[in-house]
Amino acid sequence: MTGPVSQRVIAGLILSVIALVFAGVSVATPWWGVSAISAGTPTSGAATYTLDLSGLTSLAVQSGNQTVDDGPWDSMPGSPLAALHQTTRILAYLGVALALVPVVLFGLVMSGRMKQKFAGAAGLIGGIAMLPGPLYYSVSVDRAWRAHVAGIQPIDQISGFFGFSFFTGGFAATMSWGPGVGWWVMFIGGILGIIAGAVALGGGKKPSEPATVTATAPAPGTVPAPGAPPPTTAPVAIAPAPVVPFAPAGAACPFCGTAVGWVPEYGRWFCARCARYPWG
């Protein structure tokens, strides 16, 4: 039998599953693309270059209403672009593998066979592991692309991970480039994985218990015994004076009913139970 499942565990499991699905989708969808629309040339039209992690770049060229070329465009094995895809592919697959771990651990937490903090830590690690691929790709793809298409205008003029520009070198062209679906879902999946881990770890602290105050008995010797003078901070010399008691010997304390004792040194009746002089 297991107790009620924490809402944080349920939220962590749902976020981890979404992150895993996103990671799986990313390896089969485009990570980047370039679109160029040219005019004033015999082949005026639009060209779309789509890059994914398979190592191939698909190319679609549209001239008027006719598709001139549509199919895989070899990314030249051994080129900087192919090397970029190979490294990113390794990072992406590692992210997918580590994104699976928190899903399994959250399931074990729900069955009572795993502590919540371990699943939360795995969620953080899995989410962080999904980010190096997109981050590395975003800072490297434009350089690899320019090296791959060197000398092919206008697509060799782009710079940065995303952007928009006009080309007027002999003919007019409008270009735009930026991340594809695969890049976005891997990046967002990593963020969701981190959130899943943080949510689970945030519920690991128990609420603080209110402070309890316990009553303690007086230390031995703090209450004077019958016939003994009360404690004083400093010795005080009191000249003895004849005092006639106004209560008979053996009288009872008016507060607790206990027999009181006469203290000759102070000329007063003392109640040992109440630790006080009932009549002042």
**Among 56, 60, 31, CA closest to 47:** 60
Q: Given this model, what pLDDT does residue 246 score?
A: 57
Between residues 7 and 171, the one the model is more confident about: 7
Range(s) of the domain holding residue 178 = 7-202
Q: Given this model, what pLDDT does residue 244 score?
A: 46
Task: Reply yes or no on whether the pLDDT at 198 is more than 60.
Answer: yes
Residues 77 and 28 in one domain: yes
Residues 270 and 193 in one domain: no
Residues 23 and 145 in one domain: yes
Q: Which of 167-171, 198-202, 205-209 bottoms out in mean pLDDT, i.e. has the lowest?
A: 205-209
Q: Given this model, what pLDDT does residue 262 score?
A: 83
Among candidate residues 202, 236, 257, the one where a domain is terminated? 202
Give the mean pLDDT of 152-164: 84
Task: Reply yes or no on whether the pLDDT at 176 is more than 80.
Answer: yes
Q: Given this model, what pLDDT does residue 225 score?
A: 59
Give domain status of residue 2, yes or no: no
Give domain status of residue 77, yes or no: yes
Residues 65 and 101 in one domain: yes
Give the mean pLDDT of 191-200: 94
Q: Which of the four pLDDT bands, split at 50, 70 and 90, describes residue 68?
A: very low
Task: Reply yes or no on whether the pLDDT at 81 is more than 60.
Answer: yes
Residues 150 and 253 in one domain: no
Taking only the tens place, the pLDDT of each residue in 241-255 is: 555 455 555 578 888
Between residues 233 and 129, the one the model is more confident about: 129
Single pTM value for the model: 0.65
Task: Reply yes or no on whether the pLDDT at 269 is more than 60.
Answer: yes
Give domain status of residue 207, yes or no: no
Among candidate residues 202, 236, 262, the one where a domain is terminated? 202
Between residues 137 and 39, the one the model is more confident about: 137
Q: Give how many domains the chain has, as a whole number.
A: 2
Give the mean pLDDT of 200-219: 58
